[in-house]
Structure 1
Amino acid sequence: MEKKGKKRKEIKRKLLHKYRLVILNESTFEEKISFKLSRLNVFITGTLFIIVLIGLTTLLIAFTPLREYIPGYSSTRLKKQATELTYKTDSLVNVLSYTNRYLENIRMVLRGDFENNEMNRDSLFEQFKIDPSTIDLSPIREDSLLRAQVALEDKYNLFQRNVSSGNLVLFSPVSGVVSQEYDAQKKHFAVDIVAEKDAPVKAVANGTVIFSEWTIGTGYVIIMEHEEGLLSVYKHNGSLNKEQGEIVRAGEVIASVGNTGELTTGPHLHFELWNNGSPVNPSDYIDFN
């Protein structure tokens, strides 16, 4: 016990023993500054200095732009840019996917090829079709008056007869005789209209020309995009009056009837309608008579 007590007293004496730190002038040995220190004071001062240094370094890293120069530390600006680039990449992927589907639809229109493996729309119509025998179809007085008024207006209408699809009104592209009707089973997704050579071909509705070029099989072809996902296609033209990207109004001349392409059988217009990538019967939308 006495030895332990002596050791403790010795350690205490060493820690508290005073030392004098003197700074002298090297030439004159004049005393400039002197400090009285102990080992305990030096230890406490050094510990406090290290703690303060760590605290300042932490504040520097957390609240100043200098933290960006520390290896492995990512800045807030870079994180924000990375997040924005991620969102932009996702958006571009969606736009690219939509564009690819759109271009594939255009290729199908040019090839005249269509395979509907997803669903049969005719079967859906049959499923929800109403039996006319269960409905009273006898006209009322107001209906008869309306029919007479419409017939009178059509009689003196200066424009060709048209059929409306939703809010979109379609006009006949050319005056002539229908030589071949729409036949999906034979993959003839069009109506062929025989007309005089060089007769004007008109736009069926307001829209934008998205294709206006020569093709081997169908000669001069022009395709227009309209509202509600509708595409109108005019093939075997003798010449084209509009270029890709032009905005065209309904009834404006866009081409002339011709006999171009390897698949033609004489001067006529091969006219197609595509709704959201699927061919539809133009006769359901336009009266060609």
Structure 2
Amino acid sequence: MKKYFKFTPKQLFRNFRHPYLLILRRIDNLEVIFSIYLTRLRFLLFLALFILILIVLTIFLIAYTPLRQYIPGYGDIKEKEMAYNLAKKTDSLVDILEQREVYYTNLHTLLITLDTNYNKTLRAFYYNPENLNLNKIKLSLPLSNIQITKKFNENPSPKSIRLLTKASENIKAMNDGIVIDTSYISSLNAKQVIIQHKNNMISIYKNLDKVNVGIGTNVKTNEIIGVAKPTSSFLEISVFLNGDAVNPENFWQ
């Protein structure tokens, strides 16, 4: 009659700890090259440790080496992200280039106007006030209420006038035109806006806290182009006609 043995947990554990001798010999002379005592439990532990090390190395190779590029779908996601970022940068650069093109076009026109190498006879005719009907040129007020604190030809800045501004008061364009500059003035710790108008006229607005327009923007008369400083301050206005500074008061309606 066959006998059936039932292993208890204690017997099973004892069986896993039963030692075995693993010997590696040369086939020609049976010389022992390597030998080690093993148990089933130790073998399983070594096998689990080997598998764990293999998993860690695989994760490291995939995460921190160029091998990750060969994972299906990984390259597509990264390439799409790079293409999207490049498209955004390209759009931004195109906008900047368009603004710069408008700026340099208007600046070139301004520099041509100020060129001192023109023929004297031509310049005399060009700048002769009699050849231009100044009565037809009208400018709107840049502020709701005008209070002049420094008149034209007075220091400092004799080519401009200064107007008292309320806290955060809106600054308005005096005529239709195109913005050719919105830069920062370190001496005033403020910003300025320069607008090119028709009849070869340029208006400059200095000591702004905020600017609401950009280079190349077409503005209309009385359109808000910026905001005065948050405390009571001044707005410095300059107007150039054919390259010469003129008194803005002579053109205000």
TM-score relative to the length of structure 1:
0.41
Higher relative contact order (CA 8 A, sep 6+): 2
TM-score relative to the length of structure 2:
0.46
Greater CA radius of gyration, 1 or 2? 1
